[in-house]
Structure 1
Amino acid sequence: MTNNLMQKRKGAHKSALFTGLALTGMGVLHLVQPRPFERLIPEQLPGTARQWAIGSGYAELATAGLLLVPATRKLGGVAATALFLGVWPGNMKMAWDWRHRPMDKQLISLGRLPLQIPMIASAVKIAKYA
């Protein structure tokens, strides 16, 4: 194994641990306090916003579990990629809904959109190199 590949695997391992722990925290938060997340759910989706907020919490916890266990880490990277792509419409909805709020709120909502890109890229690297 080349040194470059070893470095990529080490980086993927660290990213998987960080992402797994972050998703654990967010998943628990979705289950304990779903209301703030309900506002991010596009109205076009079937079911209730509460169902989607709770469901996404379980999806985050499941993905975290996959990332934190070495034997399932590659699958966790695939799941995290799908999860991060799946929540992007909620961030776009937030930016749209907050377009008339004070500038600091607008910047927060708009700032969430480009932050998804490195999260997706990290998840892809985990899937590829873990």
Structure 2
Amino acid sequence: MTARAALRWLLVLAYSYAGWRHLATPAPFLAITPPWVPFPSEVVAATGVAELAGAIGLMIPRLRKAAGLSLALYALCVWPANFHHALANVAIGGETLSWWYHGPRLALQPLIIWWALWAGGAVDWPFERKAPS
């Protein structure tokens, strides 16, 4: 198994778990949803479905690239919730998280976006450079 395939499967597991959690226990995700987001319950449910669909798509070769692009866009779109969680010091289950969590979480979001693109085969950078057509 290649490194790309192994990391793709890791991403499939991560997004499958996250999608299931969004649907099974939406309360923590509702708590970090910024107040300007309309229909927060429906948005949280839709994000869970999007994560599950993206994970499934990564497993299907003909859908893989579209799934990678979609998951990258998804990760970009949910970044405001991560900022809201950090900046509003939102408590989950009565507990707030420190900047030891929030700082790396916010800083690593671009890596998560790249990982989805790379796992889906939308980009090869920085490992392989394709010759221009």
C-alpha distance in 1 between matches for 2:72 and 2:65: 11
C-alpha distance in 1 between matches for 2:52 and 2:96: 33
User: Which residue number in structure 2 is paired with residue 107 of structure 1?
Assistant: 100
C-alpha distance in 1 between matches for 2:64 and 2:3: 13
User: Which residue number in structure 2 is paired with residue 66 of structure 1?
Assistant: 57
User: Which residue number in structure 2 is paired with residue 41 of structure 1?
Assistant: 33
Q: Report how far residue 104 of structure 1 moved.
A: 5.5
TM-score by length of 2: 0.78
| 1:26–1:104 Cα change, 3 Å | closer
Tell me, yes or no, if structure 1 residue 128 matches structure 2 residue 123: yes
SS of 1:42's partner is coil
C-alpha distance in 2 between matches for 1:51 and 1:110: 28
Q: Structure 1 vs Structure 2: percent identity of aligned residues?
A: 29
User: Which residue number in structure 1 is paired with residue 112 of structure 2?
Assistant: 119
More helix by share: 1
Q: Report how far residue 67 of structure 1 moved.
A: 0.8
Matched residue type, 1:96: L
Tell me, yes or no, if structure 1 residue 54 matches structure 2 residue 45: yes
Aligned length: 118
Q: Report how far residue 15 of structure 1 moved.
A: 2.5
C-alpha distance in 2 between matches for 1:37 and 1:124: 24
- What stretches of structure 2 of length at least 5 have no aligned partner? 125-133
8 A contact 1:16–1:73 mirrored in 2: no
C-alpha distance in 2 between matches for 1:42 and 1:103: 16
User: Which region of structure 1 is more displaced relative to structure 2, 70-79 or 27-36?
Assistant: 70-79
Q: Report how far residue 35 of structure 1 moved.
A: 0.2
| 1:91–1:104 Cα change, 3 Å | closer
8 A contact 1:30–1:56 mirrored in 2: yes
